[in-house]
Structure 1
Amino acid sequence: MQLSNEEEDYNLSLSKFESMLKTNKVLFFDSEEFEEIILHYLDMGKATLAKKALKLALEQHPKSTGLKLVQVEMLVYDDKLEIAEKLLNELYAIEPNNEEIYIQKANIYSKRDNHEKAVELLKVALKYTDDYADVYNLIGMEYLFMDNLELAKENFIKCMEEDPEDQGALYNVIYCFEFLDQNEEAIAYLEKYIDKNPYSEIAWHQSGRLNYGLKKYEEALRAFDYATLIDDEFLGAFMEKAKSLERLKRYEDAIEAYERTIELDDPTSYALLRIGKCYEKLGNKALAIKYFNKTVHEDPLLDKGWIAITDFYVRQKNYQKALFFVNKALNIDNQNRMYWKRYATINKEMNFFEEAEFGYRKAVEFGDTALDTWLFWVDILQFLGEFDSAIQTLLQSTEFFPESYEIEYRLAGLYFMLHEDKKGKFHISNGLRLNFKNHTILEELFPVVWTRKMVQNAINKYKQ
């Protein structure tokens, strides 16, 4: 590819400057060359070289406004705001119509969290600038800092009108629409934008993402298809395309799209996992487990991989293998509540009740507050004859589920088992009030209690 004259001059300036640094021989550069060199080093994160270039630049061009504005930018970057402000005031006295002075002043106010004043100064900059897109973009960012998403969106849209190819502004426009929960409006905006810019893969990708979020999977797929046709190495679009195909139950096509992401970059554990899930849906168990194994090999810390393997073997009722893999997962992360819940469920299926009780206890200890986890745990405690522990566990669960009939009927049954009839009557009354229809839970879980006259009287009284 042939370089333009500008690019050639730019590269020559950089080479010449770096050669000068190596030889300590002072060479002359015009002020614009210096500005480009300094900004290049700033963009590369090489602040020391940028400062060295600035020092030499100011020695050769002490009156250059452009270089002094670059100096201000570096002072602001280093949080030397007072010095920067003083220099800007001096420059303002010389060139009051220079838009860059207002932009840099706005930058200082923004750093001080005075975003209203920053916007005020940027609006002045609009009067003097030729680069409206840049200033509208800066105003949009200030409104983002103020959490005024409507005005931010308005200014990013103005930026896009001035410079339709500004991808950063396009992302910001869509971010504002999404934050304001205006996804349909965002799609409409993108449709108009695409009419004028049909080869914008970013716009197609964003349109697909928004449609996917609204569960419009056919529309999402169409958008991702266009994005990948425009850029056949657009990794994110291929990934989203695969997800859309999976939602549409087109599993073979989804596998093909996921495999394309692996061709474009190193295999991700997510892509491998989804390929495994697709093969499982297609009934190809051998390939499904092969890809689940690849997933955990690629990223042993990804809990979804271990869960996929474990759940796969649970569905096959191969509890020995399921237990083997959940134990491997727990060896890597023994504070994962999802692993502990599966450990408990598998042990329960294998009639290892003490291990199952331990698993549910650990799941709750590490943050699992789902109602079924509490109930499975309590039912095992009851089976093991640990009625007091079961009651304490249920009372603890009422902090999360204060109006649960499943908990109330169990508390009633356990208290009646312990002959604490007053407490039993209180909780059976609560259970009947919350859900009379399911009062037969008592019969299923506590057949001995169910036949007691006191219990039957309470139920009959509620019927009447």
Structure 2
Amino acid sequence: MRDNPYREDREALKELLQQYQNLKSGRQHSFIEEDAFERIIDYYDEKDDINEALEAAETGLEQYPYSSQLMIKKADLLLASRKYQEALDVLENAELYDSSDINLYILKTDAYLALDQQPRAVALLEAALEMFEGEERLDLLFELADVYDDYEEFDKVFDCLKWILEEDPTNEEALYKICFWTDFTGRNEESIRLHQRIIEEQPFSELAWFNLAAAYQGLKLYEKAIDAYQYAVAIDEKFDYAYRNMGDAYLRLRKYKEAIEVLEKVLELTRPEDVIYEAIGHCYHRMGNYAQARFHYKKAVHLNPDDSKLHYKIAVTYMLEEQWASAIKQLENAMRIHRSIPEYNLAMGECKMNLHQYKDAILYFGTVVRYKTRNVAGWEALIRCLIKAGFHDEAIEQCLAALKATDGKPLFYFYHSAMLFVTGKTKEGLLKLEEAMEKAPRLVKKFIELNPSILQNNQVVDIVARYKKGKKI
């Protein structure tokens, strides 16, 4: 018959609990040792029976009134019951008998924080750091980092993690945490120096290489970041976060082919994510491969159908191929989720205008300028659409409205001038053209695009030539 340690342990606990019940009821019982009381307290605590656990702690202290361990357990239970001052009193008493238990300082810290006495918590932990070394000292530094985090002293959180790594360069918890806090505090230069020292001692620490790369990335030193990420993945070829960040670095350098390669590696190593498919789609988009961009954007949409931005990006790829009807379907999907976003209305207006559905287009462009009154692109699109639709008087009115809304952007002086010529107000048109050329002669090409035949007007040519000569276009 095989031994069953679990069953034996369970039977021993059952017998111990019976002895405890006998003690409580005054019946005959076996002697219960101090560490047995700790086990009884833990049993009730694990069952979330705080009151019974507290009673066991008090009963134990009646038997062992000088037991600092039982006092600490009682204090822990009092903290769980939100009796913070009582817990502190018990801990003060425990400290008289044994000041070398690290739990004493951690629980006192919790009590001080609960009582909103953060300076006392910090002072306690800083004093305790002088008393402990090794793993216990590191535990106190982590505790101190948490205190600073709670009270939003974020640079001090970074300092604590830095101290931990200076004492234990292989501490994984600190290596994971300091990466976040480096980014949050912007202390990239310090992080670079710290991790370079760590790598000198621990050249095969993939986390140190990763953190070094992330710090370079924080300083926009993308080439150096990529080099460091490559060391990280050489050590751990399944380090998906390193591939992910490397992909971002390649994107920043506009090295889209390389970005695609490492982002596809992320998809091999982890479950599919919409942000990765979206990033790959963005790369293909930038490379001008709109079909592949759509393919990956659609994969992203499949994983996150409520992200209106993804539908919009698919629509943009169709627009770049002048597939206006297909673009409209995707924009309708986007606008079912978020109807009022100006970019979506602007794109929908462009599609409708290119399909000669001018009245619909005007409505969408009107929405853009209503929500973003200072947006030049919205006003420009609205005015261009009115011109194409032949609504010249309305176009003039909107030029005046655009000038007012955008604090006199020169573009709309050119558009106003063009419409004055179209409506036969040549003299006014020339004056407005001169005013526009005075403000921004480089924009004259926008004026000419609206009506290329305007260059047959000698007076127009003279004005343009004069400013070309005086101010280079």
Range class of TM-score, shorter chain: 0.7 to 0.9
Q: Secondary structure at the match of 2:130?
A: helix
Q: Which residue matches 2:84? A: 81
Cα deviation 1:91-115 (Å, max 9, x = unaligned): 3454456554344333333334443
Comparing 315-324 with 107-116, greater Cα deviation is found at 107-116
Amino acid at match of 2:119: E
Q: Which residue matches 1:16? A: 10
1:329 pairs with 2:334: yes
Correspondence list, 1:102-141, <5 A: 102-130=105-133, 131-141=136-146
1:289 pairs with 2:294: yes
Q: Which residue matches 2:345? A: 340
Q: Which residue matches 2:71? A: 68
For 1:416 and 1:249, how far apart are their aligned partners in 2? Answer: 44
For 2:13 and 2:240, how far apart are their aligned partners in 1? Answer: 39
- In the TM superposition, residue 428 of structure 1 has moved relative to its aligned partner by 8.9
Cα deviation 1:154-191 (Å, max 9, x = unaligned): 33222223333333433444444434433233222211
- In the TM superposition, residue 126 of structure 1 has moved relative to its aligned partner by 2.0
1:101 pairs with 2:104: yes
For 1:25 and 1:341, how far apart are their aligned partners in 2? Answer: 79
For 1:428 and 1:25, how far apart are their aligned partners in 2? Answer: 102
2:205 to 200, 203, 222: 200
1:227 pairs with 2:221: no
- Segments of structure 2 that go 5 or more residues without pairing to the other structure are 22-31
Q: Which residue matches 1:44? A: none
8 Å CA contact 1:409–1:428 kept in 2: the answer is yes
- Structure showing greater radius of gyration is 2
For 2:196 and 2:58, how far apart are their aligned partners in 1? Answer: 53
Comparing 50-59 with 239-248, greater Cα deviation is found at 50-59
For 2:270 and 2:144, how far apart are their aligned partners in 1? Answer: 37
Cα deviation 1:327-348 (Å, max 9, x = unaligned): 2222333243332222122223
- In the TM superposition, residue 206 of structure 1 has moved relative to its aligned partner by 2.2
What do you get for the CA RMSD once the two structures are aligned?
4.9
Q: Which residue matches 1:397? A: 405
Q: Which residue matches 1:211? A: 216
For 1:447 and 1:251, how far apart are their aligned partners in 2? Answer: 39
- In the TM superposition, residue 86 of structure 1 has moved relative to its aligned partner by 3.3
8 Å CA contact 1:278–1:288 kept in 2: the answer is yes
- In the TM superposition, residue 30 of structure 1 has moved relative to its aligned partner by 3.4
For 1:257 and 1:118, how far apart are their aligned partners in 2? Answer: 46
Amino acid at match of 1:322: A
For 1:433 and 1:417, how far apart are their aligned partners in 2? Answer: 21
1:361 to 361, 366, 369: 366
Amino acid at match of 2:122: V
Cα deviation 1:14-50 (Å, max 9, x = unaligned): 97399859x98969763665687789x5xxxxxx637
User: Which TM-score applies when normalising by structure 2?
Assistant: 0.72
Q: Secondary structure at the match of 1:49?
A: coil
Q: Which residue matches 2:163? A: 158
Comparing 374-383 with 236-245, greater Cα deviation is found at 374-383
Q: Which residue matches 1:54? A: 53
Correspondence list, 1:166-205, <5 A: 166-205=171-210
How many percent of aligned residue pairs carry the same amino acid? 22
Q: Secondary structure at the match of 1:30?
A: helix
Q: Which residue matches 1:30? A: 36
Q: Which residue matches 1:5? A: none
For 2:384 and 2:291, how far apart are their aligned partners in 1? Answer: 36
Q: Secondary structure at the match of 1:354?
A: helix
1:316 pairs with 2:325: no
- In the TM superposition, residue 296 of structure 1 has moved relative to its aligned partner by 1.4
Closer, same or farther in 2 for the Cα pair 1:70/1:226, shift >3 Å?
Answer: farther
Closer, same or farther in 2 for the Cα pair 1:340/1:112, shift >3 Å?
Answer: farther
Closer, same or farther in 2 for the Cα pair 1:118/1:262, shift >3 Å?
Answer: same
- In the TM superposition, residue 366 of structure 1 has moved relative to its aligned partner by 5.3
User: Which TM-score applies when normalising by structure 1?
Assistant: 0.73
- Segments of structure 1 that go 5 or more residues without pairing to the other structure are 1-7, 42-47
Closer, same or farther in 2 for the Cα pair 1:416/1:255, shift >3 Å?
Answer: closer
- In the TM superposition, residue 268 of structure 1 has moved relative to its aligned partner by 0.9
8 Å CA contact 2:282–2:293 kept in 1: the answer is yes
8 Å CA contact 1:13–1:33 kept in 2: the answer is no
8 Å CA contact 2:418–2:451 kept in 1: the answer is yes
Correspondence list, 1:370-385, <5 A: 370-381=375-386, 385=391
Closer, same or farther in 2 for the Cα pair 1:136/1:394, shift >3 Å?
Answer: same
Correspondence list, 1:222-301, <5 A: 222-246=227-251, 254-279=259-284, 286-301=291-306
Q: Secondary structure at the match of 1:266?
A: coil
8 Å CA contact 2:399–2:412 kept in 1: the answer is no
